[in-house]
Chains A and B, each alone.
Chain A
Amino acid sequence: MTTVADIRDRGGPAQPLLTVDGLIKHFPIKKGLGGKKAVVRAVDGVDFEILKGETLGIVGESGCGKSTTAKLIMGLIAHDSGNLLFDGETIGSRALPMRQFRAQTQMVFQDSYSSLNPRMTVEASIAFGPQVHGIPTRQAIERARSLLARVGLEPTRFAARYPHELSGGQRQRVNIARALALEPRLVVLDEAVSALDKSVEAQVLNLLLDLKQDFNLTYLFISHDLNVVRFICDRVAVMYLGQVVEIGPADTVLASPSHPYTAALLSSMPSLDPDNRTQVAPLAGDPPNPIDPPSGCRFHPRCTLAEPVCSAKVPPLDTVVDLHRVACLARQPGSGHSAANALVAA
């Protein structure tokens, strides 16, 4: 990968572009007449880093807190506690006000229709951001058109169209163009291709890869589709009930998962290769209620490796090899789990 000097770069290539540290968001809900207060632990202590120029994937079942994490990073909802650092600076601090951060970070949403104003032409939607940042209308429109061309939509045909006159894939290309209009460094793609047909999805994924090269982007790619994640991501973080349970290079995590939840997710994917049929039982049941998560390891009620120790002890996110880290007692020597003891013996 060629690294280009960006005038906005502060800490050099070694400094993570985004650092998420102990991020917590609990949504309060009222229960019953007495108003017993309960909280949904949507995001409950999430740590990870996004390195400059990489694509980090976040995977997990729906409701695991992936999208909430994205919205917390973008500041669309306020987090309860934790730190968010962008290129070494706390987001929202005096050194990096929210507005300045947002100019460098953009987001593409899942619902391509809901994310475009139905009363605005495509080019007006793309030009809106630059206009807000003081670029004259004429230049903003010009930028919108060249971006349309860049995402594969002929400006003369598409610029003046309304969202309902476009297909889902075309709309998502517009959304990508809109995200790029402010020349961001980090783009958060929240299930950005999930709603598309498989063939369109592949085209858009290839476009994303091209754009990443040309614009020197870093991606945070949120998806529930492991195949897509394997295709586009350098590293992947697996989330379960508001926590990261495994994180590491995509090849390693998706080829030889260390966490039983990751293994179960992988086995629930249909494989066309008869030699590659799964050995692990797929997931049973729904994820537990995030209002009242299980004690100890949150995955233990659904885990095939569960032992009494799993409901008593919260597994820390520990290194397996190099950058590969996992939160499972069965993988942590000295945790009291029999499988872990076997690891030590081996």
Chain B
Amino acid sequence: MLSFILRRLVAVTPVALGVSVVCFLLVHLAPGDPLSAVLPVDATQETIDAMRSAYGYDKPLPVQYFIWLWHVLQGDLGTSISSGRLVVSEVGRAVVNSLILASVATLIGFTFGTFFGFVAGYFRDSALDKVASAISVFGVSVPHYWLGMVMVIIFSATLGWLPPTGAGPDGSGNWKPDLEHLRYMILPAITMSVIPMGVIARTIRALVGDILSQDFVGALRAKGLSEFGVFKHVVKNAAPTALAIMGLQLGYLLGGSILIETVFAWPGTGFLLNSAIFQRDLPLLQGAILVLAMFFVALNLIVDVVQTALDPRIERG
């Protein structure tokens, strides 16, 4: 097992390096000079040159990359242009908020998705299957930012039950685990949970259908095993894949929550990205994307290892 983890780590290293290259190049994709946003319009050529060499922009790209990478590896993601604070601390705060929201959403999505998926797969082609399938198609087709708006319209604007935006009553940027903060989380979490729910339900349905059509299930039934016993076998066989999808969905939500976080003004990474883009705060944009992508890579790795540990059929050798 240890050698398997080591081999996965080795395999993931080039991907991680590639991700860092992409994040580095993002800044250079941007039209104009990365400094144009900070420099005053009437800056003299001397000032510009001085700034360029201070930020290292006068060096050739590969050199800039390695300097940048060296800083990143030491945990230095640079300084935010708009706030002047360290990118690491800005991103760190946002990641915590996003992670809380995404985890709750994944948990909700996983619970309902698994339930619908199991029902649909178990009673294939019944009315229940049709309903569950419809829900999962809804989940993967609905524009989630619109769903968020609809939720706000219904539960905040019309019924007035829940707050429409923000993470807490004080309007501050930190979510705390208390009842008042929980009320702020309900709408965004439910909205966000719809995406993984559809995907999980679809996958579980196909998985359960596959397992039930296999010979060993027929053999179990022929042996006189109760339906509950058969169900237990199905769960055991479906669990590794289901958990893997859940892990990946968490990663997708963390990186893909920008639209929902914008709708609900949730102070997470999405919100941070949004402001970084519109203030053309490129170091912040770069740092946030690097952290999120690396998080996703790490999550993939963990899912891979956990799935292998759980599933005896996957070879570790």
Chain A residues with a Cβ under 8 A of chain B: 33
B127 part of interface (Cβ distance < 8 Å): no
Chain B residues with a Cβ under 8 A of chain A: 3, 6-7, 10
- What is the interface of chain A mostly: helix, strand, loop, or mixed? loop
Which B residue sits closest to A33, measured CB to CB?
Answer: B7
Residues in A with CB closer than 8 Å to B6 are: 33
| Bound Cα distance from A33 to B6, whole angstroms | 9
Residues in B with CB closer than 8 Å to A33 are: 3, 6-7, 10
Residues in A with CB closer than 8 Å to B7 are: 33
Residues in A with CB closer than 8 Å to B10 are: 33
Which A residue sits closest to B10, measured CB to CB?
Answer: A33
Which B residue sits closest to A31, measured CB to CB?
Answer: B317
Residues in A with CB closer than 8 Å to B3 are: 33
| 4 pairs from A and B in contact (CB 8 Å cutoff) | A33-B3, A33-B6, A33-B7, A33-B10
Which A residue sits closest to B4, measured CB to CB?
Answer: A33
Which A residue sits closest to B3, measured CB to CB?
Answer: A33
| Bound Cα distance from A33 to B11, whole angstroms | 10
| Bound Cα distance from A57 to B7, whole angstroms | 46
Minimum Cβ distance to chain B for residue A36 (Å) = 14
Minimum Cβ distance to chain B for residue A32 (Å) = 8
Minimum Cβ distance to chain A for residue B182 (Å) = 47
| Bound Cα distance from A33 to B3, whole angstroms | 8
Minimum Cβ distance to chain B for residue A71 (Å) = 28
Minimum Cβ distance to chain A for residue B141 (Å) = 32
Minimum Cβ distance to chain A for residue B4 (Å) = 10
Minimum Cβ distance to chain B for residue A38 (Å) = 14
| Bound Cα distance from A33 to B7, whole angstroms | 7
> What are the nearest 4 A-B pairs in CB distance?
A33-B7, A33-B3, A33-B6, A33-B10
Minimum Cβ distance to chain A for residue B133 (Å) = 29
| Bound Cα distance from A208 to B3, whole angstroms | 54
| Bound Cα distance from A33 to B2, whole angstroms | 12
Minimum Cβ distance to chain A for residue B292 (Å) = 30
| Bound Cα distance from A33 to B317, whole angstroms | 10
